[in-house]
Structures are given as C-alpha cells and as structure tokens.
Amino acid sequence: MLCEIGRFHCTMKGVPKGDRPVILTYHDIGLNHKSCFDTLFNHEDMQEIMQHFAVCHVDAPGQQDGANTFSTGYEYPSMDQLSETLPSILKHFGLKSVIGMAVGAGAYILAKFALDHPAMAEGLVLININPCAEGWMDWAAHKISGWTHAMPDMIISHLFGKEEIQQNHDLIGRYRHHIVNDMNQFNLQLFVKSYNSRRDLEIERPVSGGHVNVRTLKCPALLVVGDSSPAVDVVVGLNIL
C-alpha cells in the first residue's frame, strides 16, 4: 500500500473475525516478514491460534523479497514515521485494533505505536526490544562498521549473541546468506541507519501514589529475550522500569 512516506508491502493472512483484534507483525533489521516470522507461524503449535486470528505482516519500505532499489537521494522514513504509518495501514485493511508481535527494530516501532495510539493496541509481544536511543559508543562502532563494509557482520551481531555466533555456524551461515543475497543491500543500509538514529522511547512504569501521566504502555506487554541475546541487558532494564 502507498502512504505519504512511501510504499509499504503488507501481507494479510486469514480473514479478520468480527471485533477480534488481528495479529500485526513487524520484523527486525536484516530480515523481512518471511525470514523473521515464517518459522514461527508455520509451526504446528501455532495452527490453532491461526484458526482464530488473522495476521497482518508489515515489511518496512524496501525490505520485502524482490524489492526495487530506492533512487539515490531517497529519504528513508525515521522510526517515528514508520510508527506513524501503522494507523493508516490498519485503516486500509479495516482493522480497529491489533495484538502486536515484533522483533528488534520492529519491536521499537510497535512500542512507539502503542504509546501514541493506545486504543489501537490490545497487547504486545516485544522480542529483543531496545527502547533507548543509540549511545555514542554504538554510534562509533557502527561508523567503523560502515568504513570497513561490514554491515552483514554488524547485523549478525545485532541478531545473535557471541556464543551463538561462535558455536552455531550453520544457523549463522544461513542468516548471513539471507542478509547478503536476499536483502536489497542499499535499501537495508537505509533501514539500519534509520534504526540507529532512533530516539529514546522514554517509557516509565506507573508507581502507586506517584505521577499519573507517565509515558507508559496501556496494554499488556510480554517482553521476550534470550539469556545470551545481545539485547538482554536493555530488555531486563525495561522490565524493571
């Protein structure tokens, strides 16, 4: 579908049922909805859920399979802008509310959406979310990665922990092949740059007897992170806010 900030590739699976929310997914950098969610949604344990809920997969601009290369000078949407397109996407499909399921960059986008449009989000499953703006050490590391043309390595380090990278060579090899050969490298670089320029979400947890108007998620949210994930510290930190 076409929005003010560009064309979005969306895939609807199933038919929305009455007033029941739809599962809305958003992928991480280096991935798209297929490489991020196909294994999960094709698993036998998910089939019963799929009988009761329709699913809307959203690909960030230029990240879908077979995407055309953006023209030179194209200004990629910011993370805030990507979040602000979601109400238009819901309206396009006639959806009133969603249960969000997202990873990494997508988790940031859906959390921002739920903060700004609480009536549209009935629940969130946020995997490996980093709600913080990029620190100067991360900025410097990504600059160096850019100089050495090591974007696939940087993305692998974002997706997997050191132990996984060192021990699970087959898995890492499959993801590296996908990043290098299936993703449009120019478009991917723009998405990565947008994610690395994200702002702090400034989420707070309400305290009994404290300030009422804190910026917090109004819907139930399940935070998911592996114990060896590179995002474990920030996810645990978000959970104790």
Query: Using one digit for the tens of pLDDT, what is the confidence trace for 60-114?
Result: 999 999 999 999 999 999 999 999 999 999 999 999 999 999 999 999 999 999 9
Look at residue 237 in the predicted model and tell me its pLDDT. Answer: 83
Query: Using one digit for the tens of pLDDT, what is the confidence trace for 1-45?
Result: 655 556 789 999 999 988 899 999 999 999 999 999 999 999 999
The total number of structural domains that make up the chain:
1
Query: Using one digit for the tens of pLDDT, what is the confidence trace for 159-215?
Result: 999 999 999 999 999 999 999 999 999 999 999 999 999 999 998 876 666 556 778
CATH number of residue 183's parent domain: 3.40.50.1820
Look at residue 214 in the predicted model and tell me its pLDDT. Answer: 78
The 3-class secondary structure across the chain, one letter per residue, is: CEECCEECEEEEECCCCCCCCEEEEECCCCCCHHHHHHHHHCCHHHHHHHHHCCEEEEECCCCCCCCCCCCCCCCCCCHHHHHHCHHHHHHHCCCCCEEEEEECHHHHHHHHHHHHCHHHEEEEEEECCCCCCCCHHHHHHHHHHHHCCCHHHHHHHHHCCHHHHHHCHHHHHHHHHHHHHHCCHHHHHHHHHHHHCCCCCCCCCCCCCCCCCCCCCCCCEEEECCCCCCCHHHHHHHHCC
Which domain covers residue 101, as residue numbers? Answer: 2-239
